[in-house]
C-alpha cells in the first residue's frame, strides 16, 4: 500500500507521505530502574504506522508489547519506567520528551486507547453519557447539548442497542461486550488518528469478541483510523491485521505482512508460537480414549441445580433467584476427558464448585460412590476429586514454600511421616516437570506456567480419580498452554485419571476432550463425543460458538456472524418462575441436543 504511494509523482508523494505515515517509532528503548540497575523492557524497536492500517503487535506475556503502547501514550508508570532512547513521532510532533500538559491534549484527541478490561477503565459512578461528554468537552470547546448529541451519535456508531437509554445508564448495568463498545465509542468520538487497542477482546466471550472485532474493522473502514492492535492471540492477528510485529522479551523478532508471516515464518520463535496455537480440527488426529462405557462412572450428576437467592426490600425477602445451574445431568467415565464449554455466566464453574462441595446444590452428585452434600466431606471423597483453578497465583498460599504446599495434602490426610511426605513432594515435582530443588522457593518466584504445574502437583498428591480443571490453561500464554495441556494428557495416560475440563475456548476443548457438553444459561444444550459435537453441531448455540473462534489463518476471513439483538438473556428469575427447561433428545448414538431450539 505504501509502496504504490511512494512511486507516485513528487507532488503527491509529499502529500501521501505526510498522510501515509501517522506514527513512527524509531529505536525505542524503555527501561525500568530497579535495585539491580536499569533493566531493559523494550529495546531498539522501530516501526511505522500508515493511515488506515492495522498493525498487530503480538507476543506472549513479558514481551514488552503493552509497555510499547504505554510509551506511545506517554503513560509509562513514573518514575521507575522511562523511555531511555529513540523517538516516537506522531505526524510532525515528537511525543518523546513532550511535557505532560501537551501530551494530555494529544491523548484522547489524536491518539486514543482501549484497554482489556472495560469495567476498570470506565468510572463506575458516572453514567455512560456523562463520561462520553466529559471526554469530548475535555478537548473541544462545545456546549453540553452539542457534546451530548455527539456522544449519542458515537454510541449509535458502535451499534449499541437503545443508545438513548444507554446514555443514562451506569457501567455496571451493561454487559462486558456493551462496555467495550462504550470504550470504543469514547476512543473514537474525537476521531483520533491512531487507536491503540491493548488486548481489546481478551476479557470478552468468544461470540462477543467476534462482534467487537467486526465492529472495529468496520469503524476503521469508515473513519480511516490507524489501529495498533496488541494481542497474544494469533487468531485475532490473522483476522484483523495487515502487518504484524512479533515481539519477545522486549525485542522485535520478526515483522512483515500477516499473510507472509503466517505462511512462511522465518524465525524459530514465530514458528513455535504459531505451532502452539490450538487449532480447530487438530484434535481429530488424537486417538480417542478407550471406550469405557461399560465401566462404572467416576462421577454421576443427576438433575443438579444450583440457585442463589436474591433478597430485596426491607425485610430481606427472597424476590428473585439466580438459576446458575438448572437440572444438569451427565456422567464422567474413568480415564476420559469430559469437557464443559460455554461462555461466562453459563454455570460451568458453578458445577465444578458444586461437585467439590463448595456450594450447596439440589439433585444428586455422586463421585466414586460418594454422595456429595453441602457440608463437610469425608476424607475418602476428598482424595478422589481435586480441582485445578484458573489463576494459579491466587490458588497458592503466597506465604508458604512450594515444598509445604505440595506436601500439604499428605499432611492433611496424615499420609506418611515428614520424610516420606518430602520424598513424595520431590517425586511430584519431577512428575509435573519441575525440579525437586525448587521446593524451598515461594510461589511468586515461579512463572505462570510453573505455578500451574505446582497446582497440578498438589492436586495429584492424593492420587485422585477425577481432576476438575476449571479454565486451568486460560490464563497462560499459548506456548505454556500447550505444555500444560500435554502434561495433563500424559498424566491421564499414565494414571488413568478422569478429567473434567471446563473451558470457554472451543479450540482447546476440541484438542483435548473425549466428550463435550455445551452449556448455555445454566443448562446443557448439546452433549456428545467430540466428533459428534464438533463434526456435526446440531444446536444453533454450538454452531455459533464454533464459528466465533478466530482462526490463525489470514486467508480465511469469514463473513461477520449475525449479531444477537436485544437484551442478553439472564439467569435471574422471579421466585416461582424459572427458565424454560430444555429437554435433551438423543439424535442417535448418544448425541444429545436440546429439543425445540434446533
Q: How far is the CB of 366 from another protein (least distance, A)?
A: 17
Q: Is 67 in the site for another protein (CB under 8 A)?
A: no
| DSSP-derived 3-state class of residue 256 | strand
Q: Is 387 in the site for another protein (CB under 8 A)?
A: yes
Cβ proximity of 425 and 407 under 8 Å? yes
Cβ proximity of 338 and 492 under 8 Å? no
Distance between CA atoms of residues 570 and 578, nearest Å = 11
* CB of 180 or CB of 386, closer to another protein: 386
Contacts of 180 (CB under 8 A, 6+ apart): 114, 118, 200, 201, 204, 208, 212
Q: Is 45 in the site for another protein (CB under 8 A)?
A: no
- Dihedral pair phi/psi, residue 189, rounded to 5°: -65, -30
Binding segment for another protein among 277-285, 404-412, 474-482, 497-505 (CB under 8 A)?
A: 404-412
Please list the residues that pair with 387 across neighbouring strands: 468
Q: How far is the CB of 13 from another protein (least distance, A)?
A: 46
Packing angle, helices 402-412 and 448-460, rounded to 10: 20
Q: How far is the CB of 393 from another protein (least distance, A)?
A: 9
Residues 151-180 contacting another protein, CB under 8 A = none
Q: Total number of residues binding another protein (CB under 8 A)?
A: 37
Binding segment for another protein among 81-89, 138-146, 392-400, 555-563 (CB under 8 A)?
A: 392-400
Q: Is 50 in the site for another protein (CB under 8 A)?
A: no
Q: Is 386 in the site for another protein (CB under 8 A)?
A: yes
Contacts of 510 (CB under 8 A, 6+ apart): 278, 280, 281, 282, 283, 530, 534
Q: Is 398 in the site for another protein (CB under 8 A)?
A: yes
Q: Which three cell numbers stand for residue 364?
A: 444428586
Binding segment for another protein among 233-241, 299-307, 327-335, 385-393 (CB under 8 A)?
A: 385-393
Distance between CA atoms of residues 292 and 294, nearest Å = 5
Identify which of 350, 368, 370, 367 has the alpha carbon closest to the alpha carbon of residue 358: 350
* CB of 35 or CB of 100, closer to another protein: 35
Q: Is 309 in the site for another protein (CB under 8 A)?
A: no
Q: How far is the CB of 62 from another protein (least distance, A)?
A: 10
Cβ proximity of 548 and 561 under 8 Å? yes
Residues 236-265 contacting another protein, CB under 8 A = none
Q: How far is the CB of 517 from another protein (least distance, A)?
A: 22
Q: Is 315 in the site for another protein (CB under 8 A)?
A: no
Q: How far is the CB of 461 from another protein (least distance, A)?
A: 9
E strand intervals along 402-537: 466-470, 498-503, 515-520, 523-529
Q: Site map for another protein, 439-468, x if CB under 8 A?
A: -xxx-xx-x-------x--x---x------
| DSSP-derived 3-state class of residue 268 | helix
For 292-295, the CB contacts below 8 A with 24+ separation are 292/333, 292/334, 292/335, 292/336, 293/333, 295/333, 295/334
Distance between CA atoms of residues 270 and 262, nearest Å = 9
Distance between CA atoms of residues 540 and 427, nearest Å = 47
Cβ proximity of 187 and 195 under 8 Å? yes
* CB of 72 or CB of 385, closer to another protein: 385
* CB of 163 or CB of 250, closer to another protein: 250
* CB of 262 or CB of 389, closer to another protein: 389
* CB of 31 or CB of 201, closer to another protein: 31
**Is the dihedral angle over the CA atoms 385, 389, 393, 398 positive or is it negative?**
negative
Q: How far is the CB of 379 from another protein (least distance, A)?
A: 6
Q: How far is the CB of 474 from another protein (least distance, A)?
A: 14
| DSSP-derived 3-state class of residue 413 | coil
* CB of 414 or CB of 562, closer to another protein: 414
* CB of 353 or CB of 544, closer to another protein: 353
Please list the residues that pair with 365 across neighbouring strands: 301
Q: Is 413 in the site for another protein (CB under 8 A)?
A: yes
Q: Which of 395, 456, 457, 467 binds another protein (CB under 8 A)?
A: 395
Distance between CA atoms of residues 227 and 208, nearest Å = 20
- Dihedral pair phi/psi, residue 403, rounded to 5°: -60, -45
Binding segment for another protein among 177-185, 189-197, 204-212, 438-446 (CB under 8 A)?
A: 438-446
Binding segment for another protein among 180-188, 339-347, 363-371, 393-401 (CB under 8 A)?
A: 393-401
Residues 18-37 contacting another protein, CB under 8 A = 35
Cβ proximity of 323 and 573 under 8 Å? yes
Per DSSP bridges, beta strands 337-341 and 111-114 are unpaired
Residues 81-140 contacting another protein, CB under 8 A = none
Q: Site map for another protein, 344-383, x if CB under 8 A?
A: ---------x--xxx------------------x-x--xx
Please list the residues that pair with 256 across neighbouring strands: 244
Cβ proximity of 169 and 127 under 8 Å? yes
Q: How far is the CB of 444 from another protein (least distance, A)?
A: 6
Distance between CA atoms of residues 575 and 5, nearest Å = 66
Cα 563 from chain centroid (whole Å): 20
* CB of 277 or CB of 406, closer to another protein: 406
* CB of 48 or CB of 249, closer to another protein: 249
Q: Which of 238, 396, 521, 551 binds another protein (CB under 8 A)?
A: 396
Which residue is it, cell 469425608? 378
CB atoms within 10 A of CB 262: 19
Q: How far is the CB of 10 from another protein (least distance, A)?
A: 50
Angle, CA 228 vertex, CA 225 and CA 232 arms, to 5°: 145
Q: Site map for another protein, 418-437, x if CB under 8 A?
A: -------------------x
Q: Which of 338, 389, 501, 520 binds another protein (CB under 8 A)?
A: 389
Q: How far is the CB of 60 from another protein (least distance, A)?
A: 15
Q: Which of 399, 494, 576, 588 binds another protein (CB under 8 A)?
A: 399
**Sites of contact with another protein (CB under 8 A):** 35, 353, 356-358, 377, 379, 382-383, 385-387, 389, 391, 394-401, 408-409, 412-413, 437-438, 440-442, 444-445, 447, 455, 458, 462
Amino acid at each position: 500500500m505504501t509502496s504504490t504511494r511512494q512511486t507516485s509523482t513528487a507532488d503527491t508523494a509529499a502529500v501521501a507521505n505526510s498522510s501515509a505515515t501517522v506514527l513512527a517509532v524509531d529505536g525505542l528503548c524503555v527501561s525500568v530502574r530497579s535495585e539491580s540497575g536499569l533493566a531493559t523492557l523494550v529495546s531498539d524497536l522501530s516501526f511505522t504506522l500508515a493511515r488506515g492500517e492495522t498493525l498487530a503487535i503480538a507476543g506472549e506475556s513479558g514481551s514488552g508489547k503493552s509497555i510499547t503502547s504505554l510509551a506511545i501514550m506517554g503513560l509509562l508508570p513514573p518514575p521507575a519506567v522511562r523511555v531511555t532512547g529513540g523517538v516516537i513521532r506522531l505526524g510532525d510532533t515528537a511525543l518523546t520528551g513532550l511535557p505532560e500538559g501537551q501530551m494530555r491534549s494529544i491523548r484522547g484527541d489524536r491518539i486514543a486507547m482501549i484497554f482489556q478490561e472495560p469495567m476498570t477503565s470506565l468510572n463506575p459512578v458516572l453514567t455512560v453519557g456523562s463520561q462520553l461528554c466529559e471526554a469530548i468537552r475535555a478537548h473541544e470547546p462545545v456546549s453540553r447539548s452539542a457534546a451530548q448529541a455527539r456522544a449519542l451519535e458515537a454510541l449509535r456508531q458502535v451499534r449499541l442497542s437503545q443508545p438513548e437509554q444507554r446514555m443514562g445508564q451506569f457501567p455496571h448495568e451493561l454487559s462486558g461486550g456493551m462496555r467495550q463498545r462504550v470504550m470504543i465509542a469514547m476512543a473514537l468520538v474525537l476521531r483520533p488518528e491512531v487507536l491503540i487497542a491493548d488486548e481489546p477482546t481478551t476479557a470478552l466471550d468468544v461470540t462477543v469478541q467476534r462482534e467487537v472485532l467486526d465492529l472495529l474493522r468496520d469503524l476503521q473502514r469508515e473513519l480511516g483510523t490507524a489501529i495498533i492492535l496488541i494481542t497474544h492471540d494469533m487468531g485475532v492477528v490473522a483476522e484483523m491485521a495487515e502487518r504484524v510485529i512479533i515481539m519477545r522479551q522486549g525485542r522485535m523478532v520478526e515483522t512483515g505482512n500477516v499473510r507472509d508471516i503466517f505462511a512462511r515464518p522465518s524465525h524459530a520463535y514465530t514458528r513455535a508460537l504459531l505451532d502452539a496455537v490450538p487449532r480447530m480440527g487438530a484434535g481429530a488426529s488424537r486417538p480417542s480414549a478407550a471406550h469405557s462405557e461399560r465401566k462404572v462412572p467416576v462421577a454421576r450428576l443427576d438433575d443438579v441445580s444450583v440457585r442463589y437467592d436474591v433478597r430485596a426490600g426491607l425485610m430481606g425477602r427472597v424476590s428473585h433467584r439466580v438459576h446458575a445451574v438448572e437440572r444438569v445431568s451427565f456422567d464422567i467415565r474413568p480415564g476420559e476427558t469430559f469437557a464443559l464449554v460455554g461462555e461466562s455466566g453459563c454455570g460451568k464453574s458453578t458445577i465444578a464448585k458444586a461437585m467439590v462441595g463448595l456450594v450447596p446444590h439440589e439433585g444428586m452428585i455422586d463421585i466414586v460412590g460418594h454422595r456429595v452434600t453441602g457440608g463437610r466431606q469425608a476424607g475418602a471423597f476428598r482424595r478422589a476429586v481435586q480441582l485445578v483453578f484458573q489463576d494459579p497465583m491466587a490458588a497458592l498460599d503466597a506465604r508458604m514454600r512450594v515444598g509445604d504446599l505440595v506436601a500439604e495434602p499428605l499432611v492433611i490426610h496424615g499420609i506418611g511421616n515428614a520424610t516420606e511426605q518430602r520424598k513424595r513432594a520431590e517425586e511430584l515435582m519431577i512428575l509435573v516437570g519441575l525440579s525437586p530443588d525448587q521446593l524451598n522457593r515461594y510461589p511468586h518466584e515461579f512463572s505462570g506456567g510453573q505455578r500451574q504445574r505446582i497446582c497440578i502437583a498438589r492436586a495429584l498428591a492424593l492420587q485422585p480419580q477425577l481432576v476438575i480443571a476449571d479454565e486451568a490453561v486460560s490464563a497462560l500464554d499459548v506456548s505454556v498452554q500447550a505444555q500444560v495441556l500435554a502434561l495433563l494428557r500424559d498424566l491421564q495416560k499414565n494414571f488413568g485419571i478422569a478429567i473434567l475440563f471446563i473451558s470457554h475456548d472451543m479450540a482447546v476443548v476440541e484438542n483435548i476432550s473425549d466428550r463435550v457438553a455445551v452449556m448455555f444459561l445454566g443448562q446443557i444444550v448439546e452433549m456428545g463425543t467430540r466428533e459428534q459435537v464438533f463434526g456435526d453441531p446440531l444446536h444453533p448455540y454450538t454452531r455459533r460458538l464454533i464459528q466465533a473462534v478466530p482462526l490463525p489463518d489470514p486467508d480465511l476471513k469469514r463473513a461477520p456472524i449475525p449479531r444477537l439483538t436485544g437484551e442478553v438473556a439472564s439467569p435471574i428469575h422471579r421466585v416461582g418462575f424459572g427458565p424454560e427447561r430444555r429437554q435433551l433428545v438423543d439424535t442417535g448414538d448418544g448425541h444429545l441436543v436440546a429439543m425445540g431450539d434446533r
